[in-house]
Amino acid sequence: MIRKRLSSAANVAASSRAALVIFRGFGTSSATKQQVTGAVSSLDDKTPLPSSSAVKPTSEIPGPKRYPFVGSLLSVVFNKDFDKKRIHKTFHKMVEEYGPIVRFESPTYRPSVFLSDPRDCETVVRATMENPIREGFFSLHKVRRDSANKYFEGNCGLLVENDEKWKRLRSRFQTPMLKPKNVSHYMEAMDEVTLEFMERIASLQKQHGEMPPDFQFELYKWASESVGLVALNRRLGCLDPNISSDSEPMKLIQHINTIFDSLNECEHGVQLWRLYPTASYKKLQKAHEEFLRIADQNIRQTEEALLSKTRTDEDENLTLMEELLLTPGLSRKDVVTLILDMLFAGVDTTSHTIGFTLYLLAKNPNCQAKLQDEVDNVIGNHEGPLTPKHIAQMSYLKAVVKESFRVFPLTMGTVRTLEKDLVLSGYHVPKGWAAVLYGMGMGHDERNFPRAKEFIPERWLRHKPLGPIHPFSTFPFGLGTRMCIGRRIAEQELYTFLTRVMHRYSVSYQYADIDILSRLVYVPSEPLRFSFSERRNN
């Protein structure tokens, strides 16, 4: 029955974030008494409401000096401390100077407010829960919309769509993607990939005496292989020690890196690609076309394998791809586009997180020792694959990941376009403005996280030794109904990797301090030249 339905789905098909964007649009708006009253009433019922007369007008929201036509850009770009490779530092200083709400305008984006008070972020998320508009990835949307082969047919995927198109996809993808058993089904195979990568670390350590300068690319290979298990239900072969640099798995990773690089160039700065195809837009277009070709070829191979599989038990667990293909209201191209985005978004993100986390553990040996003790107590001499039960027992492991995300977030935050007027930090913010929920700033703020500059995983443990943590003060996977749909997959990859690496190795790092470089997804500023020493005979 399942095979018949899959075949039917395939036949029908045969006939047919993280990213934050801040430099677009220019405009102002004044508040009327009616608008202010509406803004106050739109706050959560439990929030103390200021009177209408207490609400300050939009014109008084603090921020960098604005100029005609260019808005706040000149104030930022010509600041003596401006560094385009570390743009996040500029916004840190803005928040330090102007406070928890900062007005920012540019010639190519709607007026914005940067919010660094968790209570304001909660207000925005609650007000936009029904229709969370997250603008961004405009160049990727254009590439897919204008695709020469019309592959996407106007449906450009969950990552870039908004409004009704986004709602249709999210409502159908939500259950299969976030169902715990659908993700844990892949844990044994993920563990196998990770154990294989542990051997790769041993080989590199023996060969170089430490990790080579391109170890980040090695992590890309691990991440590609891991996400490929879920997205494609098959191994890609990225960890083959003899793999050629011009093989399709390596090309897939290279195309993903090129897509991120060119997206970063297209989405930030002056967007001339909207007027004509710039060099960065052409690079994005070409890399995306090649990425689509290789990924679609892999998807077709997976489909063929699924269709040829004989099932003896109708209750046998479906693969994620099978369940998606059988979901009413989803076309094959809807499913393919989601899988493309899983491959695209699941490589840089998890691999960079692992790089940052290993660095923090190396620089904080006491935390590393605590994590190793927990892993040893739970895993011991267990020789079989990791299970969800193992991970469930490791609270310090999860605290380490949360603290790593706080110290080294992958993006500046997230954005919501306001569909109604709101009162934020006592100011009227009009409908149509963008609210930038500045998660990075809140995560580094002493008011939210005492001893914020220190790596202290214990702050996340149940007894909260450093005080309560506001749930809207850090959000590595986004917030509300637009939370990252691949969260469970990413967490399982991270937990599996860190469990295995801490069980076998101690990690150290002896080079320049690692910081963040600003890109679409933040990257480590230095090569990941870790040294791994065996903790036991293997």
- pLDDT score of 29: 33
Among the listed residues 245, 251, 253, the one whose alpha carbon sits nearest the alpha carbon of residue 347: 253
Q: Which of 114, 19, 134 is nearest to 436 (CA)?
A: 114
Question: How many domains is the chain partitioned into structurally?
Answer: 1
Residue 517 near residue 487 (C-beta atoms within 8 A): no
pLDDT above 90 covers a percentage of the chain that reads 49
Q: Over the stretch 343-391, which tens digit does the pLDDT of each residue have?
A: 888 899 999 999 999 999 999 999 999 999 999 999 988 889 999 999 9
**Where do we find the tokens 């394998």?**
305
pLDDT beyond 50 at 26: no
Distance CA(392)–CA(386), nearest Å, equals 11
- Given this model, what pLDDT does residue 281 score? 93
| Rounded distance between C-alpha atoms, residue 530 and residue 518, angstroms | 22
Q: Global pTM?
A: 0.87
**Mean pLDDT, residues 435-454 taken together:** 95
pLDDT, tens digit, 9 for 90 and up, residues 106-128: 887 889 999 999 999 999 999 99
Could you give the C-alpha distances from 465 to 34, 206, 450, 459, in angstroms and in order? 45, 41, 10, 6
For residues 67-85, average pLDDT = 81
Average pLDDT over residues 298-318: 71
pLDDT confidence tier of residue 233, bands split at 50, 70 and 90: confident
The per-residue pLDDT for range 311-333, each reduced to its tens digit, is 555 546 778 888 888 888 888 88
User: Can you give the pLDDT at residue 53?
Assistant: 61
For residue 1, pLDDT over 50 is answered with: no
* The predicted structure's pLDDT at residue 441: 93
Whole-number mean pLDDT of the chain?
85
Of 311, 313, 261, which Cα lies nearest the Cα of 282?
Answer: 261
292 — pLDDT class (breaks 50, 70, 90): confident
Q: Does 40 have pLDDT greater than 80?
A: no
Which residue bears the tokens 């001499």?
381
CATH number at residue 511: 1.10.630.10
In whole angstroms, give the CA distance from residue 184 to residue 188.
Answer: 8
Give the dihedral of Cα atoms 338, 340, 341, 346; nearest 10 deg.
120
Helix (H, G, I), strand (E, B) or coil at 524: strand
Amino acid letter for position 194: T
User: Is 473 exposed, middle or buried, given 0-12, 13-18 or 19+ CB atoms closer than 10 A?
Assistant: buried
Contact 101, 113 (CB under 8 A): yes
| Residues contacting 472, CB < 8 A, separation 6+ | 118, 119, 121, 122, 125, 437, 479
- On the question of pLDDT at 52 being above 70, the answer is no
Average pLDDT over residues 334-350: 88
Q: Cα dist. 372→333, 365, 459, 501 in Å?
A: 44, 10, 18, 9
225 close to 239: Cβ distance less than 8 angstroms: yes
Is the Cβ–Cβ distance between 515 and 409 less than 8 Å?
Answer: no
Does the pLDDT value for residue 218 go beyond 90? Answer: yes
Q: Given this model, what pLDDT does residue 80 score?
A: 75
Reduced to 3 states (helix: H, G, I; strand: E, B; else coil), residue 141 is helix
The two counts, helices (H) then strands (E), for the chain are 20, 10
pLDDT of 101 higher than 50 = yes
Q: Is the pLDDT of residue 8 over 50?
A: no
- 14 has pLDDT over 80: no
Residue span of the structural domain in which 81 resides: 1-538
The tokens for 436 are: 């930038």
